[in-house]
Structure 1
Amino acid sequence: MRKEKLGRWIFAIPMMALAIATIYPMLYAVNISLKSRREYVLDRLGPTTEIMLSNYVDAWVQADMGRYYINSIIATVISVGIILALASMAGYALSHLTFRGSRVVFLVILATMMVPFQVIMVPLIKVLGDMGLMDSFPGLIVAYVSQFLPFTVFFMTAFYSGIPKEITEAARIDGNGLWGVWGRIMLPLGRPALLSMGILNALFCWNDILIALLIMQSPSNRTVMVGVSALRGQYPDNIPTYLAGIILVVLPLVIVYIIFQRQITTGVTAGATKG
């Protein structure tokens, strides 16, 4: 019993330290965002004595955060929808259909996952510029899809590989074509993985700053992450307002994760075990 308790503490103490190290920066940012500029200068580490909600109002109104929110929602929703549709179809094809070159296609998809975005950054911007897609939502969506699609295809292929082929063969015998099997069988069975990938890709798109900064060059087309980074230059001596803007950006992510954390864990675990 003593050895078991000692083993639990050996694992518990580092986990507690990791949890504190993760939570403390967020609590520190919330505390600073509620301070006045004067109180921040006088006492940066102490708890706030007066709640300044006006910092959030300034960050939202004066920095035009509402427009940035709408831009991010448009880019994220459309990109994630396209990624899930293409990844689901590709995962079904690579896991259940036999065609010449399927193995090569899968290996190429794996290879693209190894290439950092910084390597293809200049060619991608050149291609989008030649196509007239710079500083536009179609260009940003194309960049997001090309960046996040390979991993989603790999994940969906691994998930669908765990579905017995007898199910799809029985559906084909019942008169369903390829689209019928995909829509009636694969999509419902792949719902946990699709939900997990949808949430993760939404977080990736929402958190992105490099791709959006390169493509969306005009201030009116900025995404929320680019907009909040611009707050640092807009309020160089007003850190509470800057941190209030960061809290406004991070809050939706925290809410989404709290609501869907079980679905994320279940889907990712299922995809890992079925691969």
Structure 2
Amino acid sequence: MNTKPYGLKLFSFEIMMLLAALIFLTPFYFVIANSFKGFSELLMNTSSLPKSLNWENYARAWEVLSFPRALRNSFLITVFSDICMVIISSMAAYRLLRHPSKGNRFLFAMFIAAMVVPFQTIMIPLVKVGNWLNLLNSMPGIVFFYTGLGASFTIFLYHGFMKSIPLEIEEAALIDGCNPYGIFWRIVFPLLKPMTVTVIVLQSLWMWNDFLLPLLVLQKPELQTIQVAMNSLFGQYMQQWDLALAALVMGIMPILVFFLALQRYIIQGITAGAVKG
């Protein structure tokens, strides 16, 4: 097995990648370093290290924002939206793939087309429809919205991944007397684990960090997510950057740990569905 020697070209490439990584990590430095500074120190020099670790910002942000409640709301919305999205989209993708009629091909094309529609173009009609159906200011309502908005991308991912599952496995189960629902839940769905983890990670990142939809749908303070709660720190005459940065660090830590724990499944899930066979 031939290997290329470690030369100046490869060394230069590694240095460039290291510098690029440092550039991408710079915002994390500013957020974390300034979250420990007092308001006056933060305004004087935002690029310096804090003189001391001021944990008071975290304590005040925890209390002012009712952070445990906002964290619970974000967690519940993300978890239940992921569950609904995985169940509905995987079943829909299986039906569209295994029954290739003209209607199903047209429906799949509509799902793909919906992926390019910006949310800003439909947010006003969406709120109006949600008001008619009494879905505003409720957890089930925003879970319903997230499931619908994320269905197109999720179906697209599942549809591509299922092409790599041999049809002979399903035919053998059918011969053994398994019904269509049994084939899907007992045979197909367990094989979708890499893509299911990929879907959960990608959609969780989107929903956890989303600001606009919860702002439009959840007006009651007791239903606010982390991102909407942090918006209360910024008014017309005051911006509480010290508390906002501390709240931002606390808000990104759960989803960051979740992403780092499952990131290896993302590439595995996407590349596994890229080739049929």
- TM-score between both structures, scaled by the size of structure 2: 0.92
Report if aligned partners of 2:30, 2:46 keep a CA contact under 8 Å in 1: no
1:168-206 CA-partner distances (Å, limit 9, x unpaired): 111111111110000111111111101110111111111
The answer on 1:23 being equivalent to 2:28 is no
| Cα RMSD after superposing both structures | 2.2
Instruction: State how 1:50-65 maps to structure 2 within 5 Å.
Output: 50-65=52-67
CA drift of 1:273 comes to 3.6
CA drift of 1:29 comes to 1.1
The answer on 1:82 being equivalent to 2:84 is yes
- The counterpart of 1:250, out of the listed 232, 248, 252, is 252
CA drift of 1:241 comes to 1.7
The answer on 1:187 being equivalent to 2:189 is yes
Query: Which residue of structure 1 lines up, in the alignment, with residue 213 of structure 2?
Result: 211
Inter-partner Cα distance in structure 1 for 2:180 and 2:196: 19
The answer on 1:149 being equivalent to 2:151 is yes
Query: Which residue of structure 1 lines up, in the alignment, with residue 135 of structure 2?
Result: 133
Inter-partner Cα distance in structure 2 for 1:235 and 1:116: 32
Q: Secondary structure at the match of 2:50?
A: coil
Inter-partner Cα distance in structure 1 for 2:236 and 2:78: 26
Aligned pairs, how many?
Answer: 275
Inter-partner Cα distance in structure 1 for 2:113 and 2:239: 46
Gaps of 5+ in 1: none
Query: Which residue of structure 2 lines up, in the alignment, with residue 241 of structure 1?
Result: 243
Percent sequence identity over matched residues? 34
- The counterpart of 1:97, out of the listed 89, 99, 115, is 99
Q: Secondary structure at the match of 1:175?
A: coil
Q: Secondary structure at the match of 2:46?
A: coil
Q: Which moved more, 1:65-74 or 1:2-11?
A: 2-11
Inter-partner Cα distance in structure 2 for 1:15 and 1:62: 41
Q: Secondary structure at the match of 1:233?
A: coil
- TM-score between both structures, scaled by the size of structure 1: 0.92
Q: Is the helix fraction higher in 1 or 2?
A: 1
CA drift of 1:98 comes to 4.2
Report if aligned partners of 1:112, 1:150 keep a CA contact under 8 Å in 2: yes
The answer on 1:45 being equivalent to 2:40 is no
- Residue identity matched to 2:189: L
CA drift of 1:4 comes to 7.2
Structure 1 stretches of 4+ with a deviation exceeding 4 A read 1-4
1:32-68 CA-partner distances (Å, limit 9, x unpaired): 1111233324433221121111111111112111111
- Residue identity matched to 1:144: Y
- Residue identity matched to 2:88: L
Report if aligned partners of 1:31, 1:47 keep a CA contact under 8 Å in 2: yes
Gaps of 5+ in 2: none
Inter-partner Cα distance in structure 1 for 2:197 and 2:4: 43
Report if aligned partners of 2:85, 2:150 keep a CA contact under 8 Å in 1: yes
